[in-house]
């Protein structure tokens, strides 16, 4: 009986909640030589493992690079704020001096009045400008339409002129002929079926008349359009006058402000040499109050105080020195160059293709076995689901086997009753054999673990599955051979021929 014992099946039967795929592959290999290369399917885990290592290394490098770049942005922002603060302090100093300088009060007052007037006039310009360009665009469009009318009229006049030229030409030719020839030319068509001179003249007269009619029609449209243009031009000229007037006022005020600013800068510079360089970078036209500048200084200080830059990324005493962080970038670049094999994914296309093909073949085999099992399980109100899972260490594949009862409740193998377990084990074994397409399938209870070697449940299972083999077209070709050891069949099974074999 030893030769009928399937040790591999016995091994996976010890835990039918989760079956190692490697053991399952060995069973399939034992069943058919066509499955010899099926073990290559498991290499997909090696590729996944290697891919994850490379991705992890890339993520680590990306994280380092991102950290350095973020620190660089912080340092640049820090330097920007320091420069901004320095500029604000200079602006504050000039503003305070500028506001309290009594001997320049007349210039300052005029300067501020002009600035105020300039702001008002620029605001007026916005409203006038919108209307001005709206009217201007409308007039330009009408002028374009009138020009098109003129061009079309000119074209039609030329057509009309050509018609009369042709009539005159025909008339001259006829005048040179004898009276008899002229009469014949007027009324008789030639052999080529061409128009007579009389017909030609009528056609040209008709075309000339049509051209004149079209000219009159276009002239009428042009006259209406011109009238509309004249009306709009009267309104537009008012807007145009206001527009150019406000622009002239603004330009004049800007020139006066610039002159006053130059004079004021000269006065301040002559009296206070400490401002001579700072004044060049300050626009007195937009000089703010001391409080406004102080508010900005406070905001800048607040942001500077809340900035957190790693001390190993810069020199706090010389913040504009970027040599430390540039060195960090160079070191990271060197790391990438030295570890290129660890961060680049290299692919052996032939090996991966073979691996995927074998994995697909393995999936198909498992799906087939699952579908075969589910032909039988409804007899005991069950269905099964086989699901691929990967171990926590990503080194092994498993098949997770679940069962679904008629009430849709999912259970594991350990939760089945003993008769249900025995039924599943037998149909599982037979389904593995079925995927080989063999006509003869041998099942022996020696391939069943001792705790499931129950005569009553085994024979009940056989009684339930035999009718399915008879009625199913795909299974009716199969001859089932059952070999039992130390099991007593007390009641005959229909359609099952029994022979007693004496083991030598």
Smallest CA-to-CA distance from 146 within 205, 253, 223, 94 is with: 223
Domain assignment present for residue 444? The answer is: yes
Q: CATH code at 376?
A: 3.40.50.300
362 lies in the same domain as 496: yes
Does residue 403 fall inside a structural domain? yes
Verify that 255 and 112 share a domain, yes or no.
yes
The candidate with the shortest Cα–Cα distance to 322, out of 86, 15, 146, 72, is 72
Q: Are 107 and 248 found together in one domain?
A: yes
**Quick one: 106 and 244 in the same domain?**
yes
Find out whether 458 and 426 touch, Cβ atoms under 8 Å.
yes
Dihedral of alpha carbons 460, 461, 462, 468, sign: positive
Q: Which of 161, 166, 170 is nearest to 197 (CA)?
A: 170
Give the number of other CB atoms < 10 A from CB of residue 413. Answer: 19
Q: Are residues 146 and 266 in the same domain?
A: yes
Number of domains in the chain: 2
CATH of the domain at 237: 1.10.287.1490
Residue 94, domain member (yes or no): no
254 plus 373 within the same structural domain: no
Same domain membership, residue 368 and residue 243: no
Are residues 231 and 129 part of one domain? yes
The last residue of a domain, from among 228, 247, 270: 270
**pLDDT tens, position by position, for the chain (504 residues)?**
567 788 898 999 999 999 999 998 998 988 888 888 888 888 888 888 888 888 888 888 889 899 999 999 999 999 999 999 988 888 787 777 666 654 566 666 777 788 888 888 888 888 888 888 888 899 999 999 999 999 999 999 999 999 999 999 999 888 876 555 555 555 555 545 578 888 899 999 999 999 999 999 999 999 999 999 998 888 888 888 988 998 898 899 888 878 877 776 666 655 555 454 455 555 555 567 788 889 999 999 999 899 888 888 888 888 888 888 899 889 888 888 887 777 777 777 888 888 889 989 999 999 999 999 999 999 999 999 999 998 888 788 999 999 999 878 999 999 999 999 999 999 999 999 888 878 888 888 888 998 998 888 998 998 898 989 888 888 888 888 888 887 777 777 776 666 655 555
The answer to whether residues 113 and 249 belong to one domain is: yes
Task: Name the residue among 481, 495, 472, 499 with its Cα closest to residue 441.
Answer: 481
Domain that holds residue 229: 102-174+196-270
- Residue entry with tokens 């039609």: 156
Residue 284 forms part of a structural domain: no
**Does residue 245 fall inside a structural domain?**
yes
Boundary of a domain, candidates 238, 270, 302: 270
Would you say 94 and 287 are in contact if contact means Cβ atoms under 8 Å apart?
A: yes
DSSP states along 56-115: HHHHHHHHHHHHHHHHHHHHHHHHHHHHHHHHHHHHHHHHHHHHH-GGGHHHHHHHHHHH
Question: Is residue 175 a contact partner of residue 227, using CB atoms and an 8 Å limit?
Answer: no
Scan for tokens 């030295």, then name that residue.
338
Alpha-carbon distance of 491 to 27, in angstroms, equals 33
Residue 266 sits in the same domain as residue 357: no
Does residue 117 belong to any structural domain of this protein?
A: yes
Domain final residue pick, 223, 240, 270: 270
Q: Same domain, yes or no, for 8 and 118?
A: no
In the prediction, which pLDDT does 157 show? 93
**Is residue 244 situated within a structural domain?**
yes
Q: Is 281 part of a structural domain of the chain?
A: no
pLDDT at 43: 85
């Amino acid at each position: 009986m030893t030769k009928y014992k399937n040790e591999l099946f016995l091994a996976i039967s010890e835990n039918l909640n989760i079956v190692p795929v490697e053991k399952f592959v060995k069973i399939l290999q034992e069943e058919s030589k066509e499955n010899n290369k099926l073990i290559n399917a498991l290499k997909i885990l090696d590729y996944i493992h290697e891919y994850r290592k490379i991705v992890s290394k890339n993520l680590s490098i990306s994280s380092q690079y991102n950290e350095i770049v973020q620190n660089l942005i912080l340092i640049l922002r820090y330097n920007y704020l320091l420069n901004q603060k320095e500029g604000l302090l200079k602006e504050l100093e000039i503003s305070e001096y500028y506001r309290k300088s009594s001997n320049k009060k007349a210039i300052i007052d005029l300067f501020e009045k002009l600035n105020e007037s300039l702001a008002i006039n620029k605001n007026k310009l916005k409203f006038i400008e919108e209307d001005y360009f709206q009217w201007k665009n409308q007039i330009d469009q009408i002028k374009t339409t009138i020009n098109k009318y003129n061009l079309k009229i000119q074209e039609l006049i030329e057509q009309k002129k050509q018609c009369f030229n042709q009539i005159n030409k025909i008339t001259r030719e006829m005048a040179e002929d004898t009276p008899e020839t002229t009469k014949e030319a007027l009324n008789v068509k030639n052999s080529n079926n061409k128009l007579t001179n009389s017909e030609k003249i009528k056609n040209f007269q008709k075309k000339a008349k049509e051209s004149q009619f079209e000219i009159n029609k276009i002239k009428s449209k042009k006259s209406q359009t011109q009238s509309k243009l004249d009306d709009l031009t009267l309104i537009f000229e008012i807007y145009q006058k206001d527009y150019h007037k406000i622009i002239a006022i603004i330009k004049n005020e800007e020139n006066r402000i610039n002159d006053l600013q130059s004079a004021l800068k000269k006065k301040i510079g002559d009296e206070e040499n400490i401002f001579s360089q700072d004044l060049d970078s300050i626009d007195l036209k937009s000089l703010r109050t001391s409080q406004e500048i102080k508010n900005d200084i406070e905001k800048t200080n607040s942001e500077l105080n809340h900035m957190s830059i790693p001390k190993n990324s810069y020199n706090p005493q010389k913040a504009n020195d970027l040599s430390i962080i540039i060195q960090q970038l160079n070191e990271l670049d060197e790391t990438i160059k030295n570890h290129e094999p660890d961060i680049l994914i290299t692919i052996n296309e032939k090996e991966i293709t073979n691996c995927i093909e074998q994995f697909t073949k393995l999936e198909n085999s498992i799906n087939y076995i699952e579908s075969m099992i589910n032909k039988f399980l409804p007899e005991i109100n069950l269905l099964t689901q086989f699901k691929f899972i990967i171990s926590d260490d990503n080194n092994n594949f498993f098949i997770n086997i679940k069962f679904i009862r008629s009430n849709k409740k999912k259970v594991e193998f350990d939760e089945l009753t003993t008769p249900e377990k025995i039924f599943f084990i037998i149909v599982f074994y037979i389904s593995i054999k079925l995927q080989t397409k063999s006509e003869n399938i041998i099942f022996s209870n020696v391939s069943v673990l001792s705790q499931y070697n129950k005569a009553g449940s085994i024979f009940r299972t056989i009684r339930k599955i035999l009718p399915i083999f008879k009625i199913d077209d795909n299974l009716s070709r199969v001859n089932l051979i059952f070999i039992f050891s130390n099991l007593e069949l007390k009641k005959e099974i229909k359609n099952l021929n029994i022979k007693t074999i004496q083991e030598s």
